[in-house]
């Protein structure tokens, strides 16, 4: 029989892009694993209003990861309510796909701003709350497009590759002076969310035929990886990229 997982027992967690898709599954998984509090942050909290009701340990926070005033308000609020953060999941991300000759400067700027600068700013805002205990786990959601590239995704691939490089730097920087602040990435393949529902069915079928495990992943597949990297079970793992893609990129 499965034992209830209490890997997050007593932990204070923050998840961005948490209202729907992967962020929702991640928030629910951390909450079910016993987190004392999960701050489910999203630029638009509306899709979360229903599912959050089932979790007394989840608090919604409206937050744009690119808005310095909102970041500072959130860190002040968490400081007042709990005095620390144990786990930060940088999940918020967007796409604006176009072939290289068609991609506009604003498509480039928007994606780099949210997916890369947003993670930099969010982590910078939460870091003092992790330094309180000199301990914590940062898990950022990259993509296999950040390791292997993809047609029509110059901006997205650059942002997700940047997240991996930034994470590796943080693994070194944030473990100095005896600190135990770990930083890791997850690189999902094609996962069944609204983001992939925008992909034409013909393209998805082609993709399925290339995935050794034969199907798109489900949000819970990513959430389980996040739970592992967030918990003490991965206490000696930092600076790594965990691919969860059904074997698509080997």
| Binding-site ranges for ligand NAP (CB under 6 A) | 16-17, 19-23, 42-44, 63-66, 91-94, 114, 118, 141, 143, 188, 190-191, 193-196
Q: Please report how close the Cβ of residue 140 comes to ligand NAP at its closest, in angstroms.
A: 9
Alpha helices in the chain (DSSP H): 21-32, 48-52, 68-81, 105-112, 118-131, 145-148, 154-173, 194-197, 201-210, 219-230
Beta-carbon contacts of residue 90 (< 8 Å; ≥ 6 apart):
16, 65, 118, 119, 122, 123, 138, 139, 140, 141, 163
Beta bridge partners of 140: 90, 185
Beta carbon of residue 178, minimum distance to ligand NAP (angstroms, whole number): 32
Least gap, CB of 177 to ligand NAP (angstroms): 31
User: Structure tokens of 218?
Assistant: 């489900």
Query: In this complex, which beta carbon is closest to ligand NAP, that of residue 179 or of residue 241?
Result: 241
**Got the DSSP string for 106-121?**
HHHHHHHIIIIIHHHH
Identify whether the C-beta of residue 124 lies closer than 8 Å to the C-beta of residue 174.
no
What are the two backbone dihedrals, phi and then psi, of residue 118, each rounded to the nearest 5 degrees? -60, -40
Dist. CA 221–CA 219, nearest whole Å: 5
Instruction: Please state the closest distance from residue 242 (CB atom) to ligand NAP, in A.
Output: 12
- Which of 36, 204 has the CB closer to ligand NAP? 204
Active site residues: 156
Q: Which residues pair with 88 in a beta bridge?
A: 14, 138
Q: CB nearer to ligand NAP: give 47 or 239.
A: 47
For ligand NAP, which is the closer residue by CB, 196 or 238?
196
37: left (phi over 0), alpha (psi -120 to 50) or beta: beta
Q: State which residue, 33 or 141, has the beta carbon closest to ligand NAP.
A: 141
CB of 9 to ligand NAP, least distance (A): 26
Total residues belonging to the chain: 250
């Amino acid at each position: 029989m499965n034992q209830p997982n209490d890997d997050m027992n007593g932990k204070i967690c923050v998840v961005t892009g948490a209202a729907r898709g992967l962020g929702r599954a991640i928030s629910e998984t951390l909450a079910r694993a016993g987190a004392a509090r999960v701050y489910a942050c999203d630029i638009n909290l509306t899709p979360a209003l229903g599912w959050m009701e089932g979790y007394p340990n989840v608090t919604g926070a409206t937050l744009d990861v690119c808005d310095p005033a909102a970041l500072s308000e959130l860190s002040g609020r968490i400081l007042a309510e709990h005095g620390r953060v144990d786990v930060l999941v940088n999940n918020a991300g967007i796409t604006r796909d176009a072939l290289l000759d068609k991609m506009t400067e604003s498509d480039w700027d928007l994606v780099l701003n949210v997916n890369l600068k947003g993670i930099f700013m969010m982590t910078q805002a939460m870091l003092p709350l992790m330094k309180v205990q000199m301990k914590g786990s940062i898990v950022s959601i990259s993509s296999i497009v950040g390791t292997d590239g993809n047609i029509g995704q110059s901006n997205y691939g650059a942002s997700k590759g940047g997240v991996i490089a930034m994470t590796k730097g943080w693994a070194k920087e944030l473990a100095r002076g005896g600190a135990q602040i770990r930083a890791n990435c997850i690189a999902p393949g094609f996962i069944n969310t609204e983001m992939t529902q925008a992909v034409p069915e013909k393209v998805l079928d082609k993709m399925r035929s290339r995935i050794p495990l034969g199907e798109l992943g489900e949000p819970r597949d990513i959430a389980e990886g996040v739970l592992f990297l967030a918990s003490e079970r991965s206490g000696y793992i930092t600076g790594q990229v965990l691919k969860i893609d059904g074997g698509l990129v080997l």
